[in-house]
Amino acid sequence: MLLLGIDIGTSSIKVAIVDAQTQQTVVTAQYPETETPITSLQNGWAEQSPEMWWEHVQMAILKANATGTYNPKDIAAIGIAYQMHGLVCVDKNQHVLRDSIIWCDSRAVPYGDAAFTAIGEEKCLSHLLNSPGNFTASKLAWVKDNEPHIYEQIDKIMLPGDFIAMKLSGCVTTSASALSEGVFWDFKNKELSKDVMGYYGFHTSIIPTIKDVFTEHGLVSESIAAKLSLTTGIPITYKAGDQPNNALSLNVLQPGEVAATAGTSGVIYGVGDTLSYDKQSRINSFAHVNHTAEQTRIGTLLCINGTGIANSFTRKLLAADKSYPYINEAAKQIPIGSEGLTVLPFGNGAERIFNNRTVGAHYQNINFNIHTEAHIFRAVQEGIAFSFRYGLDIMKENGITPSVIRAGKANLFLSDVFISAFVNATNVPVELYQVDGSVGAAKGAGIGAKIFASEKEAFANAKPLDLIEPTVASAYNDVYEEWKGFLMKQV
């Protein structure tokens, strides 16, 4: 019995086939091999085509099928993880009305700020656990105000994972977890927020049917099954945003457990059992995958937009013909602190940790006689690690003090320089696991389909690859304080 996990990333689509009995990954596939572009028609805008995601999902599944390592007819359930906060709008025929306004788009900040004031800051924080900020509801408000001809045609709005499930099955569903990440969910009243819907003038009919995360979200249609060599009627039994899903894939489900990821954006995600929130909304609180009306499980999320994308930008600029392992190895030859070179990696839109201000990327103290491309490689990765430290200090103000952080051995966590900078700057050990979002989505599907008797059973075989502990925290703390001093001049 096999499980199919689909991860709708910003850079690419990944799929995994997991054997439910052994919990081992049979095969993974990615499409495309190159990074998917982000369309930016104006400064601060970021969009992608939902139909492009769907095309890439199909290509990734067919690529996995082509390995011949499994029989696609043995797939029993499907799970979907996806980039959070994106807005997908479809008409009554399920046709996409415009490109998705994705997570790192900044245009809706003024709409969220106005809603925060009008609804009331205390009410927003105590009921929504967040300022409406730059999240999905505010993005929809921008469409309503600036593209009324589009808004008038909307039958349903969705998060990216809801859209892919719709394409697979024809069914349109969502969950309290998804609605909370869009800042549509009232945690105190345990329902769609009347305040948000009323203030923005949204009709409740545009919201899909609300279901639990771990339940059936549609059955694969006959035409799609034929195209992808699947069995008609396979259930989609799990959908979650990429960060809650990353936490699931690392078995971070209970209060006090903490996960991290460093892909295009960077996240530290801690689970709690109270309706907690940051008074400045610099970090955000959403319903975790196992949050229910009876069991409070809130994921507190620190997000930094400029992480892996800063590393990617640097490679394209200075070493386009080289690989990431080349960059990582070159950076290792440079001492801690990059001999005075300092980088702020915030060049990917408004950052929540700075109250939704756009700080931009900055480089300081470049010395033409000392610094090489390797210094820049290292300074960028150190700057990203210091961003995590800055955000973790905010999380500590809000009661999240991890004794260990779990992370998948992927993306920036493949770099020894980044791992060392992260562990020593935060002074928190990191456990590394061989997992990724698509594998987590597959296991989520198994939980939702009740193929696994419990969440605990789904991760019974999960063992860490390595534990990295701080060894030079004092040296990194000194460099961090210099970096923070530079940062404070910009914010």
Q: pLDDT averaged over the chain?
A: 96
The DSSP annotation for 214-259 comes to SS---B--HHHHHHHT--TT-BEEEEEEHHHHHHHHTT--STT-EE
> What CA–CA distance (Å, rounded) separates 182 from 422?
29
pLDDT at 445: 98
Q: What is the pLDDT of residue 350?
A: 87
What Cα–Cα distance (Å) separates residue 393 from each residue in 247, 389, 397, 400? 20, 6, 6, 9
Distance CA 221, CA 95 (A): 17
- For 329, list phi and psi in degrees, rounded to 5: -70, -40
Structure tokens at 316: 């394209």
Position 456 scores a pLDDT of 87
pTM for the complete prediction? 0.90
Q: Give the angle subtended at the CA of 259 by the CAs of 338 and 484, to the nearest 5°.
A: 35
One-letter amino acid of 176 = A
Q: Which of 17, 324, 274, 268 is nearest to 126 (CA)?
A: 274
Length of the chain: 491
Locate tokens 């850079």: which residue? 11
User: What integer pLDDT is reported at residue 35 of this predicted model?
Assistant: 86
**Which pair of tokens denotes residue 61?**
């599944």
pLDDT, position 436? 86
Q: Which residue has the tokens 């919990």?
A: 23
Going residue by residue through the chain, which has 491 residues, state the pLDDT in tens, using 9 for 90 and above.
Answer: 999 999 999 999 999 999 999 999 999 999 999 889 999 999 999 999 999 999 999 999 999 999 999 999 999 999 999 999 999 999 999 999 999 999 999 999 999 999 999 999 999 999 999 999 999 999 999 999 999 999 999 999 999 999 999 999 999 999 999 999 999 999 999 999 999 999 999 999 999 999 999 999 999 999 999 999 999 999 999 999 999 999 999 999 999 999 999 988 899 999 999 998 998 989 999 999 999 999 999 999 999 999 999 999 999 999 999 999 999 999 999 999 999 999 999 999 889 899 888 999 999 999 999 999 999 999 999 999 999 999 999 999 998 999 999 999 989 999 999 999 999 999 999 999 998 899 999 999 999 999 998 888 999 888 899 999 999 999 999 999 999 999 999 99
What does the angle CA 63 – CA 69 – CA 70 come to, to the nearest 5 degrees?
A: 95
**How far out from the chain centre does Cα 454 lie?**
24
Helices 473-490, 373-397: crossing angle, 10 deg rounding: 90
Instruction: Extract the tokens encoding 268.
Output: 């530290």
Q: Are 259 and 242 in contact, with CB atoms under 8 Å apart?
A: no
**Up-side HSE of residue 381: CA atoms within 13 Å toward CB?**
30
The pLDDT, as a whole number, for residue 460 is: 87
The pLDDT of residue 144 is: 98
